[in-house]
Amino acid sequence: VPPLRDAEDIFATIREGDILLHHPYESFDPVVELITRAADDPDVLAIKQTLYRAGGDSPIVKALARAAETGKQVTAIVELKARFDEESNIQWARTLEQSGVHVVYGLLGLKTHAKCLLIIRRERGGLRRYVHLATGNYNTTTSRLYTDVALLTARPSLGADASSLFNLLTGYSAPAKWNSLVVAPLGLHEAILGLIAREAEHARQGRPARIVAKMNSLVDEDVIEALYRASQAGVPISLIVRGICCLRPRVPGVSDNIEVRAILDRFLEHGRIFHFANAGKDEVYISSADWMPRNFHRRVEVMVPMDEAAIRARLIDILNVQWADNVKAWVLDPSGAYVRVRPKDGQAALRAQQKFIEQTKEKVKVADQAARPLSRFHMNPTAQKSPLEGKVPRAAQRRRPRRDEQ
C-alpha cells in the first residue's frame, strides 16, 4: 500500500473521526508514521509519549530525538523498571536526554504502564491535540507478534485528558476530574467494580445485562467477588483470559453464569477489551490494565471509553469472534483445569485469528478498489510467525495456559 503523501494526510484522516487499529492484522506502521510525520512537521509544537517497552533500534525513539533536535517540545515518560527491558530503556533514556528530550521516569512508587501519545499541532483556528491510546507497547517488533487494539483520535475531551495525564506524570499538576479517561491508581478499580455492580442491578430489574471481558490476567479479589455477585444476580459473564485466572467458573450457586476461555494461537493475545451491555446501551472500553491488584493500585494505567457506535460494534464483533473460536480455544472448568474446545458435530471450525486475517484482507481489497486513504491503515504484510504457533499449552496437563511477561 503506498505511503501517505504528506503529514496533512494522516492528521486530516484522524480529524474525520476516531480510528480503531487491530494489531497485528492491521499494520503498526501508521503509528510509527504518525510520530515520524509529527517530528518533521513544522506545525507540530509538542510531542508527549509514554515508553514502556520500546525495543531495540526503535524508529519511534529516533523520531522523538529528531523532533527535539529541531526545536519541538518533546516529553518522554520512560519506565526504567519494565521487566526484561531495563537495560534497553536506560539506553534510550540517555539517547533522548542527549537530544534535548525532557525525559521523566514517572511517579515515585508507581510503574507507568499506560500507553499514550499526545501531539499538539498548530492549525487554522488554533491548536489541536491528536491522541493515540493503546493496549500494547510502542514496540515495532512485538506489534507483529501480539494482538492489541488502539485508538487514534482528535476528540477534544480525550485530548484534554491526555494533557492532564502527562501533567500528572511530569509532576506538574493532578486534574480535578477527567472528561473521558479512567486512570489508575486514581479510580480505575472503583470504576470496574461500579460497572460490574451496575450490570448486576440491571439483571435484578429484568433489564438486558451482560459482561464480556478480554484480558491477560484476572487476579483481583474484589473484582472476582463482584463478578460472583453479578453471576448470582443473573448476569451472563464471558471472560477471555489468556494467563492467570483466579476465578472459578461454573461453580453451582457461586458462578453458574460465568464461563472462562483462553486462546493460544499464532499471535500472543495481549489486548484488554471490556463490554458491558448496560440495559441495551452498550459501553465498550479498551485498557492498558489487567484486572490485577498491581494494575489497579501500583501502576499508572488508563481505560478508554469508545464513543463512536461503529467502533463499539467492531470491538463487540472482535469479542464475539474470539468467543466463538473452536480451534485454538481452551475452556476453564470448575476444578481449575483447561479443556480444549472442539467443533461440535456439524459445526464449522472457526479459528479467530485466521478469521481476522481474512477479514483484513477483504478490507484491503475493498479499500484498494475504492482508492480510499484508509487503506494505509489496514493490512500488516510483515506479521511474523509467533513462537507460540503449534505449541500445546500446559492446560492439557490441568494447568493454566502459558503466561507471557506483562
The 8 Å CB, 24+ separation contacts for 200-208 are 200/226, 200/229, 200/230, 200/233, 200/235, 201/233, 202/235, 202/277, 202/278, 202/279, 203/230, 203/233, 203/234, 203/235, 204/233, 204/234, 207/279, 207/280, 208/277, 208/279, 208/280
Gyration radius from the chain CA atoms: 21
Distances (CA, A) of 27 to 1, 146, 196, 318: 11, 12, 33, 17
Instruction: Classify 360 as helix, strand or coil.
Output: helix
Phi–psi pair at 244, nearest 5 degrees? -65, 130
Distances (CA, A) of 386 to 267, 321, 337: 6, 20, 25
Is 184-397 in CATH node 3.10.20.30? Answer: no
Number of neighbours of residue 98 by Cβ within 10 angstroms: 12
Q: Are 238 and 212 in contact (CB under 8 A)?
A: yes
Closest CA relative to residue 74, chosen from 90, 98, 53 = 98
Helices (H), 260-387: 293-297, 309-323, 352-370
- Spell out the residues 6+ positions from residue 191 whose beta carbon is closer than 8 angstroms to its own: 182, 303
Residues of the chain with CATH 3.30.870.10: 7-180, 184-397
DSSP-derived secondary structure letter, 332: E
| Confidence (pLDDT) at 86 | 62
| Confidence (pLDDT) at 99 | 94
Q: Are 27 and 4 in contact (CB under 8 A)?
A: no
| Confidence (pLDDT) at 371 | 57
List residues with catalytic annotation: 113
Burial class (CB in 10 A: 0-12, 13-18, 19+), 193: middle
| Confidence (pLDDT) at 364 | 82
Q: Mind listing the pLDDT tens digit of every residue in the chain (406 residues)?
A: 334 444 458 899 999 999 999 999 999 999 999 999 999 999 999 999 999 876 667 899 999 999 999 999 999 998 876 554 566 667 878 889 999 999 998 888 899 999 999 999 999 989 999 999 999 999 999 999 999 999 999 999 999 999 999 999 998 777 778 999 999 999 999 999 999 999 999 999 999 999 999 999 999 999 999 999 999 999 999 999 999 999 999 999 999 999 999 999 999 999 999 999 999 999 999 999 999 999 999 999 999 999 999 999 999 999 999 999 999 999 999 999 999 999 998 899 999 999 999 999 998 888 777 655 544 444 454 455 544 444 444 433 344 444 444 4
Largest CA distance in the chain: 65
Q: Are 46 and 120 in contact (CB under 8 A)?
A: yes
Phi–psi pair at 122, nearest 5 degrees? -85, 120
Side-chain-side CA neighbours of 355 within 13 Å: the count stands at 17
- Its CATH class, for the domain covering 7-180, is alpha beta
Instruction: Classify 330 as helix, strand or coil.
Output: strand
Task: Label the pairing between strands 283-287 and 299-305.
Answer: antiparallel
Cα separation, 263 vs 281, whole angstroms: 28
Phi–psi pair at 341, nearest 5 degrees? -85, 130
